[in-house]
Amino acid sequence: MAAVTVINPNVLNLPPYRLPQDYLTLPENYHPKPRRFVGLLACQMDPTLRSLDSIITRMEKKTAEMATTKGKPKKADKKAQAAASEAEEWEIEFEDTGPPSAYSTGSDIDTLFDSVIFPEGGGQPYDTGVLSLQTKKGTDWDSVKVDSAFRRKLDAVHLVRFPTGSDPAAHGWVVGAEVHMEVDWARRKYHMQQHTGQHLLSAVFEHELKNETLGWQLSTSGQPSYVDMERAPSEEEIAYVVQRCNDIIQNGTRVRVNVRLESDHERPGTLPEDYRDGVIRYITIDNLDVNPCCGTHHPSLAFLGSLFIFPGVTAMSGPPRSRINFVVGDALTKSLATAHALVKDVGLQLECGPPDINERLGQLLKGKKDATRREKVLRAESCAAYAIQLAASLKEINGVHVGKIHREEESTDVEFLTSILHSFTPPSDGKWLAALSSGPISASGTLGGCLLLTGSDDALVKKAGELVKVNFEGRIKGGGGKGKWQGKVIGSWHKGDDALVDQILSEAAGRHSCPTSL
């Protein structure tokens, strides 16, 4: 392994970052390239840096061909693109890709070719930010938002939008323009806290509990981020890791970045295939872990504040792995506030304070269970009563016993009507036909209802069903077979429908008059 030395900012002509001198180390034999590149961008050298002055070295309207290369916009960006159809996407870079003199306006200009906007990597999403023209302050064209950024080989590419058909060059947006860039710090800070937190919790699981991390995802949706483990940790292990991580955080444990020349070392499997002739960055958590990663990590874990792993493990398939959810730092405070608001809201609905919610909920669930049991008993009694009522309504017409009942209930519960039949004893002599209906009576409205026809033989029931279709003029739609016909009321039962059912039963039984009663 090559000898390492503490970086001397003067050797690299680095801006005067306020960073611990021993945060970053480079190989002793390192000779800086004549330009910045991904791996040693300002945002990677000093993750606390929020703004930077730089100079545009490449500016090009994005073409369809460029969109198919590495770094094409992700799903969310496509949505944004659709919303901003009146804008065209441009790529802007700040690395000095040509001879220094090509853009130089001063002797020390080389130090300005750099970026404070991280172009995604190591599981950390890209930064967003704002670019401002130093010479156009106060004009409509003085600044532009950086929607996203990505890595193309060694270069960091920034994506911005200008109005379709416009000429940004006419407004000062040209190669060589001096630009002040600001990173969206709230977004970056969130990314860094979750990312650095993931390094920590994965390290504790791996080194102290022999449970390796297989993958992870930093959430950008407001939900917790997750880590996939090779085996499911127990409740005790999760509790241990949470405590251990917070102890390490509270100790202000240092994080350091050791940079190696890529050619000097075996390439880590996680290094992208198109990243060549760059550097390998080893992220070290003092006395705990060393891991190659290109993301931005704060020099002290104290920056994380606190870390929490949510109870519960989700078994994931193909390949099998165990997922745990976690949240770190400011997002943990927000998560706690959201959880508290939810508990408070539940307490208000249950009319009790948060400490009594569990007991109150237990009482409600027991009450619900008791009510369900009582409803079952009452339902059975009610069905039996309706069955007696149905039997009492039977009248003989042309040798057929016909009868009906109606429930004024706002329901389409055919099941209840069917239950009545279970308690109903049909006449033992001759044919019979019965109509069971339910629904509130209303001349207008959509309160609904249902009708169930049944009888001693299928032909009789079928005939009655056909008569329902004709007499109700499409207000009841249904069908059936095997001695049953059921239909749904479109709209509501009307006042005269009771007589209409009587008429249908009579006609089905063979009487061709129009009686008002049986």
Which residues sit at the interface with Zn ion, rule CB under 5 A? 122, 293, 295
Please, which residue, 229 or 453, has the CB nearer to Zn ion?
229
Closer residue to Zn ion, CB minimum distance, 122 or 487:
122
Task: Write down the least CB distance from residue 295 to Zn ion, Å.
Answer: 4
Q: Which residues pair with residue 55 across a beta bridge?
A: 178
* CB of 292 vs Zn ion, minimal distance in Å: 9
CB atoms within 10 A of CB 76: 13
SS (H, E, C) 415-445: HHHHHHHHHCCCCCCCEEEEEEEECCECCCC
**Are 295 and 195 within 8 A, CB to CB?**
yes
**Cβ-contact 220, 331 below 8 angstroms:** no
Residues 6+ apart with CB under 8 A from 289: 199, 200, 203, 206, 207, 283
| For Zn ion, the closer CB: 73 or 292 | 292
Among residues 116 and 420, whose Cβ is nearest to Zn ion?
Answer: 116
Within 8 A by CB and 6+ apart from 274, the residues are 70, 153
Q: Is 443 exposed, middle or buried (0-12, 13-18, 19+ CB in 10 A)?
A: exposed
d(CA 164, CA 259): 42
Which residue pairs, CB below 8 angstroms and at least 24 apart, start in 463-467? 463/508, 464/433, 464/435, 464/504, 464/505, 464/508, 467/504, 467/507, 467/508
Q: Is 271 left (phi over 0), alpha (psi -120 to 50) or beta?
A: beta
Nearest distance, CB of residue 207 and Zn ion, angstroms: 16
What is the rounded CA–CA span in Å between residue 486 and residue 480? 6
Closest CA to 121 of 298, 294, 297, 267: 294
- To the nearest whole angstrom, how small is the minimum distance from the Cβ of residue 282 to Zn ion? 10
Q: How far is the CB of 222 from Zn ion (least distance, A)?
A: 22
Residue with the CB atom nearest Zn ion in the bound state: 293
In the bound state with Zn ion, the residue whose beta carbon lies nearer, of 278 and 295, is 295
Shortest approach of Zn ion to residue 196 CB, angstroms?
Answer: 7
User: Which residue lies nearer to Zn ion by CB, 229 or 313?
Assistant: 229
CA 2 to chain centre: 45
Give 27 or 122: the residue with its C-beta nearer to Zn ion: 122
Comparing CB distances to Zn ion, the nearer of 156 and 177 is: 156
For the CB of residue 152, give the shortest distance to Zn ion in the complex, in Å.
Answer: 21
Q: Among residues 71 and 295, whose Cβ is nearest to Zn ion?
A: 295
Distance CA 23, CA 36 (A): 19
Least distance from C-beta 285 to Zn ion, angstroms? Answer: 10
- Minimum gap (Å) between residue 123 Cβ and Zn ion: 7
Pick 218 or 434: Cβ nearer Zn ion? 218
Q: How far is the CB of 362 from Zn ion (least distance, A)?
A: 45
- Nearest-5° Cα angle at 466, 464 to 467: 65
Burial of 209 (0-12, 13-18, 19+ CB in 10 A): middle
Query: Least CB distance from residue 199 to Zn ion, whole Å?
Result: 5
| Strand ranges for 230-297 from DSSP E | 255-261, 279-285, 289-292
Nearer to Zn ion, 179 or 293 (CB): 293
Cβ proximity of 281 and 44 under 8 Å: yes
